[in-house]
Amino acid sequence: MSAHDQCPSSVKKGKPGKAALAAEARRLSRVSGGASAAPAWRSLEEVADTPEFRDLVEREFPAGASELLEPATRRTFLQIMGASIALAGAATIPGCRRPDHKIMPYAAQVPEQVIPGKRLYYATSMSLPGGGAEGLLVETHEGRPTKVEGNPLHPTNRGKSGVWAQASVLSLYDPDRLKYPSFLLKGETARRPATWDDFKAWSKEHFEHYDRAQGQGLALLVDKKSSPSRDAMRDRLLKRFPRAMWVPYDAADSETPAAGSAIAFGAPVREQLSLVEAGRIKAKVIVSLDRDFLDQADPANLIHQREWAATRRVLTTQDEMSRLYVVESGMSNTGACADHRLRLAPSRIEAFAVMLARAVAHKTQGASWGPLQNLLAGMQAPAGADIPPQWAEAVAEDLVLAKHYQDGKPAGTGTYRAGETLLVAGPTLSPAIHALVHAMNAALGNIGKTVSYLPMSPELAAPSARGLAQLAQAMDSGAVTTLVCLNTNPVYDAPADLGFAQKLAKVTSICLSTPATETAAASGWSLNGACELEAWGDTMSWDGAIAPIQPMIAPIYDPARSDLELLAIIADPNAAILGGDAAATAPAGSPAAVAQPAAAQGATQAPRTTPRVDDGYTIVRQAWRAMMGGGTGEAGFEKAWKRALHDGLSPIPPQQPEARQVNLDAVADAISRLQFGAPPSAAALEAVFAPGMVYDGRFANNGWLQELPQPGTRVVWDNPALVSPATARALGVLPDNWSDTRTSQMYTRKFPSGQRATITVGGRTLEMAVWILPGMADHTVILPLGYGRQIAGRVGDGVGFNTYLLRDSQTGLTARGVTAARADGEYPVSSTQAHWTLEGRTTISRAVDLLAWQKHGDPAKNPTEPPADPLYGHKADLPINFAEKVGGGELSHTPPNVSIYPHPFTGTRTGIPAGAAMPFSKGPQWGMSIDLSTCTGCGACTIACQAENNIPIVGKKEVAKNREMHWIRVDRYFTGDDLNEPAAILHQPVPCMQCENAPCETVCPVNATVHGPEGLNYQAYNRCIGTRYCENNCPYKVRRFNFFDYGVKKFNGDYVGKEALESVLPDRGGITGSGRHNKLNPNLIPPRLREKLSEIEKMQKNPDVTVRSRGVMEKCTYCIQRLNEARIEMKLHDLNVMPDGFVQTACQQACPTDAIVFGDRLDAASNGGTGSRVRQMQESQRTYQLLGYLNTRPRTTYMVRVANPNPALRRPEEDPFGHHGVHGHEGGGHDDQGHSAIDRSTFIREQARGALDKGYALSLRVLGAIS
Amino acid sequence: MSVIFGKWMNTLPTVAAAVGLGGFVTVVGGFWYWATPKFWQVGYMPHQPALTEMQLAGIDAAKPLNPGMGLPGTQFPGFSHQIHAGKLGMDCRYCHTKVELSPEANIPNVATCYGCHAETHVDEAIVGASKVQFVRTAYEHDESINWRRVHKLPDYVRNFPHNIHVKAGVSCFSCHGQITAMPVVYQHEPLSMGWCLDCHRDIPVNPGKHLVPPDKVTQLVAVEQHFSKVQAGQPGDFPGFDARRLYESLRMNPPDNCGACHY
């Protein structure tokens, strides 16, 4: 680290060596032990701080990022250009004529409520993996959905939304979707195209064969979801075919939660967590046993995130705060949020759970444990070095007693907690442990207070793996002769031992799917499904709220049918389901409407009153009519239905969750049969199959999700097996050139890579890459599911490894006795973890303990600095708030403004003319506050920004070169000095800081980036000539450069003259995302030859934002299109002051925990405004500026993360002040008021001298700052 | 010794410098004048509307209204703003609906045209059936009638928010010219950034030269007369209208920063 951006007082004694610095850092972190004082590092190599790593971070882009071509550059370039010229021809030379743009108005009628040029929102919902659902608002532009947002009225969302919902709009425009039905004749290999009418004619005859046997031999494999309409259609289908097999299936699903609750309560339940109520914290201690309850794969994660954040958002020193213990095998976002985190293999978590239960049982007075009390007392869970002995005791103590601590020692015996704690168990644990956790919740009085239950539908509770195994057996034996797959993909994701693909060939198969899948390609009939933005349907969310799904757009590949409509075709062969049928719209009484199903024997079994099935609209409407009961008349129902469609929510109140009695005998019985087995070792690892960013693979062709950095690893476009550093060493799968002193080499090479290894699970082997992830449990390997798709589309094909090949139908999400052996070679992996690294990282992401906040956070002790300072000069004499003191008072080192450019809005350097307005004194002045206490690192902000701002994906190879385009990234930091066991993990979203003194502005030679009167740092794309000076000068690394036409041309797509190019450029085995479609990096193809985005893909783009072409720098501008629109709307409605919340940025709108707050900094109640939240946040003592000492005056500020450690496990740090980090500091000179003031000229001279930076010294001399 | 470099050559540097300078000035000046939107964009006048083959089919080529203005190869006269907005005095907003609400001043849908040009509505003696047959054809086939974009902003400008300009009292006339007198609409102003900024920067100084009462923005003839009087230093045609007061009451602040248009 060059010294000139660090505290000058610390470099007085000259520059210590690197080894000394590193040693000092470790010493400091050991002494304090606090989360804040430990050096923060984002990746392994940063700890070592090797020359390679220094080189990486000091470069503007990492090696390779700014190079046009790969090795053999010149020759390749000439080849491509030669082909380009040969192909281009005279015809492509653009004429000088003005292009003839056509305007196409609506034909006959403009649809109701459409105002061309204005967006229109419709409420809908979306079912999510795991049985959950979200209520959504979809932004449409002239009937074309472009952005998905949370529905504020839906109790799950309350205006927020998750990653998968945000990304769903891209799947709608997936160019590789199934476009028409097709069928495969026996003995042929090529599919033949067909129409839906063909299918209907075929299916009518085909399913009539099953009538006699009442459906015997017919099976349906359906995706798991909660949808009243689909339940109704299922019942209707089973009425015709009572003996058909109905198999709900979800490949990444675990059956243990349902089984565990069946033991404890007698029936499977859906847990409803309740952490806060009316601003009061209900769950003061939360213990998660491998349950990633904040992660997107949890069906209720939005509720959990919102409520958990509410227990963590301390704004005053009196605020209470919850404490979160996480015991986990992987390194999840939930684990990163924990106050105490214990990494254990899944089987060891079970042992820990028993130890914890025993300790709790021992301490609970008067609580009824029944037979468990004695059983637990007599149980001996195998102890081991991996479970610190004090853990179970300390956690149990905390669960039972609320203690007051003073000076690190408990004062008094504490008071009993009653019903203010919560334990949750995760999908990797066995049913017995789930039952035990329910029993513990009961004993601690939590049931009915912090956790209550809703019944789980048989559909959700159905064991996926067992159901599929039974189905496969029946297909094999001939008991099933026709299989209908509804939105499932068993050919890809069935456990390997079932041999599903072979068995599928034995039966007549029908597959309905929206994206292209392996199953669709192998099925007899492949039907193109309508996605949830194109069809009618409904959902029930995890908390029981029922919401309609309404189509936002007619199916893009029309006709396409939803699962409801296909079920209707099967259930009633005469259904007027197809567009050509008159009955769909036939008025009552017309011949078409009264025609009765004649031949269908099954249909006559149905009561006469069963209405005819029609299109999805009728199906849903009828189901809702039945659901709402006969109480309201047709007119009343119509009104309620319209209201429900408008609100996106059913008027039926959700079922209230209730407390349930735990059957202690059954739990004791299950526990007594618990087998612990031998703890895992390097020879017998434990494997955890975890759903990846693409869940079970269903989102594989969604480029936004593929390019969203995955939790923990920040890996994109891949799913390497994850192991801890110690385990990697034990297994010998460290990368070739790994050494303790030179850990950097692994990632700083041009293309980072992981060692290949052969993973063996139960006799099946797979060679895959291994990625080393600090903080994971030892002797555990995580195998993410959902990658290695063969037929998914141009984005998802061949991305990563298919870990389903390692699963068998007996193991759930965990497997034991797994081995990993080093294989030859390395595999390139793209990870963003070391990208966009900031200098001076020690104070970038700050964290303190609650005790320190309570002791020092009082505003009276820390007068906040005045918000505006006319000259932006030296600030040593200004008061510094708590958070800045935590950063070592670095603001006191702020240099004077030494820019030679006068600032247009502050008059800096020239000074404010007498009588002129103060800088930025006229509103609105935008600002953003990001609370690190509540950020879970979920990435919803990144995807929301991507959708709103037309941000392209770039592919794996480009990410490896650091060219990802995300405007808001989420940095992940580890802290502590043990690579294997980080002290804490922090997430920090970084958008553009919108500096008032923006370093990027002063270096732009063409004034493409300039300042605006509202404090925004504008980027004028048409001025930008692509010098990238601004990127170089940005201390936050938030600018993104379009090296290629990422947004304008097809991703990984075909290109004109493919053959000609491939003749000069043979297959070089590219590493970009999609191996099949990407023999050479398509970004290297000259733009003219690359195919442009198809019209379908263009439809996703937000028309309010430019689509940037290559050679242009871009960055976050606080969603300026929304700001401008809001300002106009405000004036149109004659509002003088923009109310707080009138405009939201996309990231803020999506953020499930409300960690991102945006608004007008001047909007204070004292100024006559409504009082903005961002002002309240920025005035908080927890707010600090990122690299504030650079005097950039960022508009985006951060709030220090507050941790709430248990003093029995770690002594909280009371005084987190002073310098910490990698440069040593001679004590003294720091008091409670931060850094002592130093003389300005001394400071500058020291900067020049200490840095030994001649250029900097020269510039100061030029500016007259020093003589 | 023969004279290779004659004495006349002493003047060569001067002459060369003069010619070079003159050439440079000519090139720069030429570029300055001709390579501008003012030269290239103003006057762009495509024939309207852009009909499909089917829509063209029923058009009788008998009596062109405006010779020379028609679609090449046919005698189809095209749509005339002069007739609709000028002679008939239709308000702009009859067709360009929602201009007060939307950033776009919308092109009318076919039903709007058909509302008047249905067979039963128009006296055949005034408007020959053949001339508006395309409207009926389009309506019957539920087809859109395509129009050619005349006023196109430079790339990277997101949109021109019509709604707020209309609200602020900027007349259609200020940007589109005297549409009521145009048989075929052409681009009247350069729509360049400098032209936009000229107005935005002048409005705070001389609001009266640019603003009219918001309810009069579509009365183009009255607005033109008003502005010609204002330019001449006379009081305008809208008695009681105080542009400065309008400017202040709406808290106008015409932006002149990049972020107002480029994002």
pLDDT in tens, B52-75: 777 777 665 544 444 444 555 555
pLDDT in tens, A755-777: 899 999 988 999 999 988 888 99
Q: Name every chain B residue with its beta carbon within 8 A of the beta carbon of A118.
A: 98, 101-103
Instruction: Provide mean pLDDT across the span A61-77.
Output: 47
Task: Identify which of A1080, A1069, A908 has the alpha carbon closest to the alpha carbon of residue A996.
Answer: A908
Tell which wins on pLDDT, B5 or A1024.
A1024
Instruction: Provide mean pLDDT across the span B188-204.
Output: 92
Per-residue model confidence (pLDDT) at position A1186: 87
Task: Identify which of A458, A463, A438, A452 has the alpha carbon closest to the alpha carbon of residue A259.
Answer: A463
Give the range among A27-36, A263-272, A457-466, A1254-1263 with minimum mean pLDDT. Answer: A27-36
d(CA A522, CA A1228): 74
Tell which wins on pLDDT, A287 or A418.
A287
Q: Do A1012 and B163 touch (CB under 8 A)?
A: no
Angle at alpha carbon of residue A1040, lines to A1034 and A1043, rounded to 5°: 130
Judge whether residue A957 has pLDDT over 90. no
Q: How far is A1111 from chain B (nearest CA, A)?
A: 14
The letter for the amino acid at A1108 is R
Q: Do B103 and A1131 touch (CB under 8 A)?
A: no
d(CA B166, CA B99): 8
* Residue A791: alpha-carbon gap to chain centroid: 24
Q: Do A1132 and B108 touch (CB under 8 A)?
A: no
d(CA A279, CA A288): 22
Report how far apart, in Å, the C-alpha atoms of A1086 and of each of A144, A198, A1091 are.
Answer: 31, 44, 10
Q: How far is A112 from chain B (nearest CA, A)?
A: 13
Per-residue model confidence (pLDDT) at position A415: 81
pLDDT in tens, A108-117: 777 878 888 8
Judge whether residue A215 has pLDDT over 50. yes
Structure tokens at A963: 């060219």
Q: Three-state DSSP class for A286?
A: strand
Q: Which H or E run includes A342?
A: strand A340-343
Task: Identify which of B35, B43, B74 has the alpha carbon closest to the alpha carbon of residue B58.
Answer: B74
- CB distance from B72 to chain A under 8 Å? no
Q: How does DSSP classify residue A930?
A: E
Give me the long-range contacts of B247-256 (CB less than 8 A, separation at least 24): B247/B203, B247/B204, B247/B207, B247/B211, B250/A1131, B250/B167, B250/B168, B251/A1131, B251/A1136, B252/B168, B252/B203, B252/B204, B252/B207, B254/B199, B254/B200, B254/B201, B254/B203, B254/B204, B255/A1013, B255/B200, B256/B197, B256/B200, B256/B201
Task: Identify which of A1110, A1113, A1089 has the alpha carbon closest to the alpha carbon of residue A1029.
Answer: A1113
Tell which wins on pLDDT, A717 or A95.
A717
pLDDT in tens, A568-617: 989 887 655 444 333 333 333 333 333 333 333 333 333 334 445 568 89
Task: Identify which of A39, A18, A22 has the alpha carbon closest to the alpha carbon of residue A976.
Answer: A39
Q: Which H or E run includes A122?
A: strand A119-128
Task: Identify which of A849, A778, A777 has the alpha carbon closest to the alpha carbon of residue A1210.
Answer: A849
Per-residue model confidence (pLDDT) at position A675: 84
Instruction: Provide mean pLDDT across the span A825-851.
Output: 72
d(CA A1238, CA A612): 85
Maximal CA-CA distance, chain B = 100
Q: How far is B82 from chain A (nearest CA, A)?
A: 21
Q: Three-state DSSP class for A821?
A: strand
What is the value of ipTM here, to two decimals?
A: 0.88
Percentage of the residues of chain A whose pLDDT score is greater than 70: 75
Nearest by CB to B260, from A104, A1124, A1131: name it.
A1124
Per-residue model confidence (pLDDT) at position A368: 77
Instruction: Provide mean pLDDT across the span A1000-1024.
Output: 90
DSSP3 helix / strand / coil % (chain B, rounded to 5): 45, 0, 50
Judge whether residue A1107 has pLDDT over 80. yes
Question: A984-990 and A969-975 as β-strands: parallel, antiparallel, unpaired?
Answer: antiparallel
d(CA B174, CA B243): 15
Give the range among A531-545, A1180-1194, A1249-1263, B169-183 with minimum mean pLDDT. Answer: A1249-1263
Tell which wins on pLDDT, A232 or A1051.
A232
Using N-to-C axis directions, what is the helix angle for A389-400 and A346-363, rounded to 10°? 50
Q: Name every chain B residue with its beta carbon within 8 A of the beta carbon of A1021.
A: 156, 262
Whether the upstream peptide bond of residue B49 has omega within 30° of 0, thus cis, is: yes
The whole-chain average pLDDT of chain B stands at: 85
How many contacts, defined by CB atoms under 8 Å, are there between A and B?
125
Question: A482-486 and A508-513 as β-strands: parallel, antiparallel, unpaired?
Answer: parallel
Q: Do A102 and B50 touch (CB under 8 A)?
A: yes
Nearest by CB to B251, from A102, A1020, A1136: name it.
A1136
Give the range among A949-953, A986-990, A1183-1187, B75-79 with minimum mean pLDDT. Answer: B75-79
Structure tokens at A408: 């690190």
Per-residue model confidence (pLDDT) at position A906: 60
Per-residue model confidence (pLDDT) at position A111: 80
Give me the long-range contacts of A873-880 (CB less than 8 A, separation at least 24): A873/A897, A874/A1240, A874/A1243, A876/A1235, A876/A1237, A876/A1238, A876/A1240, A877/A1237, A879/A1233, A880/A1233, A880/A1234
Whether the upstream peptide bond of residue A257 has omega within 30° of 0, thus cis, is: no
Bridge partners, residue A830, by sequence: A716
pLDDT in tens, A7-16: 333 333 344 4
Tell which wins on pLDDT, A60 or A454.
A454
In terms of Cβ atoms closer than 10 Å to its own Cβ (0-12, 13-18, 19+), residue B240 is: exposed
Per-residue model confidence (pLDDT) at position A523: 93
Per-residue model confidence (pLDDT) at position A86: 52
Report how far apart, in Å, the C-alpha atoms of A1175 and of each of A880, A891, A926, A1140 are.
Answer: 17, 20, 10, 10
Question: A685-691 and A780-785 as β-strands: parallel, antiparallel, unpaired?
Answer: parallel
* Dihedrals phi, psi of A358, to nearest 5 degrees: -65, -45
Q: How far is A101 from chain B (nearest CA, A)?
A: 5
Judge whether residue A1225 has pLDDT over 50. no
Per-residue model confidence (pLDDT) at position A472: 94
pLDDT in tens, A361-389: 988 866 678 888 888 888 887 778 888 88
Q: Do B167 and A1132 touch (CB under 8 A)?
A: yes
- What pTM, to 2 d.p., does this model score? 0.85
* DSSP-assigned letters across all residues of A1032-1085: HH-TT---EE-SS-TTTB-TT--BTTHHHHHHHS------SS-TTT-SS-GGGS
A interface with B, Cβ–Cβ < 8 A, is 98, 100-110, 115-118, 1010, 1012-1014, 1016, 1018-1023, 1104-1106, 1117, 1120-1121, 1124, 1128, 1131-1132, 1136
Question: Using 50, 70 and 90 to split pLDDT, how confident is the model at A1085?
Answer: low
DSSP3 helix / strand / coil % (chain A, rounded to 5): 30, 20, 50
Cβ-contact A964, A958 below 8 angstroms: yes
* Residue B132: alpha-carbon gap to chain centroid: 24
- CB distance from B109 to chain A under 8 Å? yes
In terms of Cβ atoms closer than 10 Å to its own Cβ (0-12, 13-18, 19+), residue A461 is: buried
Tokens 């297909």 correspond to A475
Tell which wins on pLDDT, A48 or A1016.
A1016
Tokens 């409504």 correspond to A1170
Judge whether residue B47 has pLDDT over 70. yes
The letter for the amino acid at A440 is M
d(CA A565, CA A555): 13
Q: Which of A98, A102, A103 to mutate to test the interface with B (most CBs of B within 10 A)?
A: A103
Judge whether residue A943 has pLDDT over 90. yes
Per-residue model confidence (pLDDT) at position A490: 94
Nearest by CB to B263, from A115, A1121, A1132: name it.
A1121
* DSSP-assigned letters across all residues of A75-86: HHHHHHHHHHHH
Q: Which of residues 26-55 of B touch A (CB under 8 A)?
A: 41, 44, 46, 50
Rg (CA), chain B: 25
Return the number of other C-beta atoms located less than 10 Å from residue A193's C-beta. Answer: 10
Judge whether residue A550 has pLDDT over 70. yes
Q: Do A1106 and B250 touch (CB under 8 A)?
A: no
Give the range among A344-348, A540-544, A668-672, A822-826 with minimum mean pLDDT. Answer: A822-826
